[in-house]
Amino acid sequence: MIEQDVLRRFIFKELGIRGEWVKLSNSWQLIKKHQQGPYNTQVLLGEALAAIVMLSATIKFMGSIILQAQGDGDIKTLVAQSTHDRKIRGLLRSNDQVQTGPLESMFGQGRLVLTIEPDDAQPYQGIVPLEGDNLAAALQNYFQQSEQLKTRLWLFANETHAVGLLLQALPSENNNDDTDWDRIEILANTITNQELLDLNCEDLLYRLFNEEHVSLFDPQEIEFQCTCSRSRIERTLHALGKEELEDILIEQGDIQVCCEFCGEQYHFAKIDIESMLLIKDLSIHSDTQH
């Protein structure tokens, strides 16, 4: 049976090395349907989604992790997000034509931001320059600079699938002798994009590490799910301020908001905005009374 839209975690217990494998198919198609751009930018979005799913397995709380790449070049914004339970979404904004090449040639001067957003705590954010031949190299640079963890990623995407493989030294083992890490990395480097696409996780691990002791965990399902909602849009609109909202209503008569991740349309008539502002004002007044 072919594995689709799943994350598999594995560990080399004796070596202090963990790993993950991911394959996106239907979830990738649903996300791609809402994101227009040249083929090479869509490939980059697929790679980002595969990467963020694997990185989501590192968070030990309820919440989400967001990868955001921004620059002043042909690609303006690339966003990939995964929740702790593998609900994913993505966003792409670029020019109609984007030169293929190193990240600097696609993004110009840019930065890579990883944001961890726990549901019950303050977000944590790490930022590094957006540099390297590809997204995998940029993420490896992030982990080297921000987390001081040996990390390797292999990412690939096409029109039908987005796939990835990650290896990472466990923090407690990171200062040990590099011999084991070097051997596993050399073995993993023999993987091809076609094998990443074609092989199930267990077959891939056997192909790469059949002489190693690898423990493979059960698959975790992945699906596209946008977190937009009317209440979230209302909070965003309220942040614009009463004066700006009133100016928009005078000019347009109502307010239309389209979610950039999923295409969902939200309509706010004049009475909706007035009610929203009134409720917020009453809430603020009530808080000041206490």
Do 251 and 197 share a structural domain?
no
Q: Which of 224, 259, 278 is the last residue of a domain?
A: 224
The reply to whether 219 and 234 lie within a common domain is no
Same structural domain, 54 and 120 = yes
Has this prediction a pTM greater than 0.75?
Answer: yes
Closest alpha carbon to 151 in 165, 166, 138, 163: 166
Q: Is residue 204 part of a domain?
A: yes
Residues 153 and 37 in one domain: yes
| Residue 115 and residue 169 in one domain | yes
- Same domain? For 127 and 220 the reply is yes
Question: For residue 7, what is the DSSP state?
Answer: E
Shared domain check, 156 and 125: yes
Q: Are residue 117 and residue 201 in the same domain, yes or no?
A: yes
Domain that holds residue 98: 6-224
Strands 223-224 and 87-94, sheet pairing? parallel
> pLDDT digits over 193-221, tens only?
999 999 999 999 999 999 999 999 999 99
Q: What is the number of domains present in the chain?
A: 2
- Helix or strand run (H / E) with residue 107: helix 103-107
Within this chain, do residues 175 and 252 fall inside the same structural domain, yes or no? no
Domain termination site, one of 209, 224, 239: 224
User: Do 179 and 194 share a structural domain?
Assistant: yes
Domain endpoint, select from 178, 200, 224? 224
- Phi-psi category of 289—alpha, beta or left, where left has phi over 0 and alpha has psi -120 to 50? alpha
CATH number at residue 126: 3.55.30.10
Q: Is there a domain that residue 137 lies in?
A: yes
pLDDT of residue 286: 46
The two tokens of residue 197 are: 């696409």
pLDDT beyond 50 at 258 = yes
Residue 1 lies in a domain: no
pLDDT at res. 164: 97
Question: The tokens of 239 are what?
Answer: 């942040």
Q: What is the pLDDT of residues 35-59, one digit of tens each?
A: 989 999 999 999 999 999 999 997 7
104 in the same domain as 242 = no
CATH of the domain at 274: 3.90.1280.10
Same domain, 90 and 172: yes
